[in-house]
Amino acid sequence: MDSASNPYSPGAGRRPFELAARTALINDFDLLISRAAAGRTDRGIVLHGLHGVGKTVLLTEFRRRAEDAGFLVVSLEGRDAEGGPKAIRAKLARGLLQAGRKANSRRATPALAAALGTIASFAAGLQVSGIDVGVGARHGRGDSGAFAVDLEETVEDTAVALAERQSALILVVDEMQNLDAGLLSALLGAQHQASQRDWPFYLVAAGLPNLPSVLNQSQRYAEGLFTYRRVGALDREDSATALTAPAAEQGVSYDPEALDLLLNAAGGYPYFLQEYGSAAWESAPHQRISPDDARVAVEIGRAQLDQGFFPLRWRRSTKAEREFLRLMAVDGEGGSGTATLAARAGKKMTSMTMTRGSLIRKGIIYAPSLGQVSFTVPGMADYVRRVTA
């Protein structure tokens, strides 16, 4: 069928036509919005899950809903941490300046103008200049030079000013497990103060399965600050909807056997559903996708994944890391014991600790429990076996 009308969207962060099976998560966020607008505080939200399950897409949806509610939204991405701690703090300051300026020009209040002054102090302390908010830096707020203190004062002044108008400050953080320790603990500190003192400030974050433990290691009280939600694969019925609904919109249907073949290949993972759906669309000559079309699509879809989704991680790993991944792949998708891996390699466990650590930092594996490691990338075990065979 015509590529131009292909309704599937394989690719990081790309909004699917059908945001299947995420109503409960979206309802959680809508509840946060309505509670905040009514002046009642709530916990922030932390989404965690494997690569390609749709976390970024959900954060984007949350962001849109918060903006529609008239909330002030600032976004950060842990991946920006590549530019170093300084760059990501500067990005936070710019985001606050930009959002604060917009809110104040829509509806100025004395409290918001004062908060803008604090934001300006905070930004100046981080050497961010060039965004004129029409208000000078405020002396004595957000300018102590101690980052955590300045962030907290900035959050306080902004959130308290927003509370007057039934609004809130939402900080959306993707890939949160990659933030540097100083920024992470300052953000958690600000969220902690906000929840104790009823400031409408919420961290709404997403990251890999290790994110909850990263947060707890940063601050022991982190567990109580958030509603934690695991984002996982879709069940068979929702996966089927993710494939059939976008097609039906254009009068295209699936033969049941074709649908089965594609669902088996995708294993419920949103990214894979988009990739195989897209390949089926490209492979089918007629409005009804046949089992033969689906068989071709499974081959093409897998080749696409083998050229993009998997090598994205594989290429970033060193020789020693690849060997570690190869040893893990023997155990399949279920994860491996580190003692088993060491025995398999014929090495001491301690000699593999560094490699394990660097793979965790790169977000390719995580530790689901003590002495265990698993892939963060669904299907990675099979891929590693294919590529090292």
Ligand X SMILES: Nc1ncnc2c1ncn2[C@@H]1O[C@H](COP(=O)(O)OP(=O)(O)OP(=O)(O)O)[C@@H](O)[C@H]1O
With binding defined as CB under 6 A, does residue 212 bind ligand X? no
With binding defined as CB under 6 A, does residue 360 bind ligand X? no
Task: For residues 273 and 344, give the distance between their C-alpha atoms in angstroms, rounded to a whole number.
Answer: 34
How many C-beta atoms surround the C-beta of residue 361 within 10 A? 11
Member of 41, 56, 195, 210 binding Mg ion (CB under 5 A): 56
Which residues pair with residue 45 across a beta bridge?
204, 227
Cα distances (Å, whole numbers) of residue 140 to 54, 121, 136, 172: 42, 9, 12, 27
Member of 25, 32, 55, 91 binding ligand X (CB under 6 A): 55
Phi, psi of 237 (to 5 degrees): -65, -45
- Work out how close the CB of 175 gets to Mg ion at its nearest, in angstroms, rounded to a whole number: 7
Residue with tokens 């400030």: 201
Q: Which is nearer to ligand X, 18 or 293 (CB)?
A: 18
Residue 386 binds which entry of Mg ion, ligand X, none, CB below 5-8 Å type-dependent: none
With binding defined as CB under 6 A, does residue 9 bind ligand X? yes
- Work out how close the CB of 174 gets to Mg ion at its nearest, in angstroms, rounded to a whole number: 6
Q: Which is nearer to Mg ion, 47 or 325 (CB)?
A: 47
Q: Which is nearer to Mg ion, 50 or 74 (CB)?
A: 50
Residues 6+ apart with CB under 8 A from 46: 176, 203, 205, 206, 207, 211, 212, 215, 226, 227, 228, 229
- Work out how close the CB of 346 gets to ligand X at its nearest, in angstroms, rounded to a whole number: 33
Residue 16 binds which entry of Mg ion, ligand X, none, CB below 5-8 Å type-dependent: ligand X
Residue 20 binds which entry of Mg ion, ligand X, none, CB below 5-8 Å type-dependent: ligand X
- Candidate ranges 55-63, 94-102, 275-283, 326-334; the one touching Mg ion (CB under 5 A): 55-63
Exposure class string for 329-360: b at 16+ Cβ within 10 A, else e: bebeeebbebebbbeebeeeeeebeebbebbb
Q: Which is nearer to ligand X, 31 or 312 (CB)?
A: 312
Q: Quick one: angle between helices 319-329 and 353-361, nearest 10?
A: 90
With binding defined as CB under 5 A, does residue 118 bind Mg ion? no
Pairing of strands 336-337, 372-375: antiparallel
Exposure class string for 175-214: b at 16+ Cβ within 10 A, else e: bbbbbeeebbbbbbbbbbbbbeeebbbbbbbbbbbbbbbb
Binding to ligand X (CB under 6 A) within 225-284 occurs at: 242, 270-271, 273-274
- Candidate ranges 23-31, 38-46, 54-62, 129-137; the one touching ligand X (CB under 6 A): 54-62
- Work out how close the CB of 50 gets to Mg ion at its nearest, in angstroms, rounded to a whole number: 10
Binding footprint of Mg ion on the chain (CB under 5 A): 55-56
Residues forming the site for ligand X (CB under 6 A): 9-14, 16, 18-22, 49, 51-57, 242, 270-271, 273-274
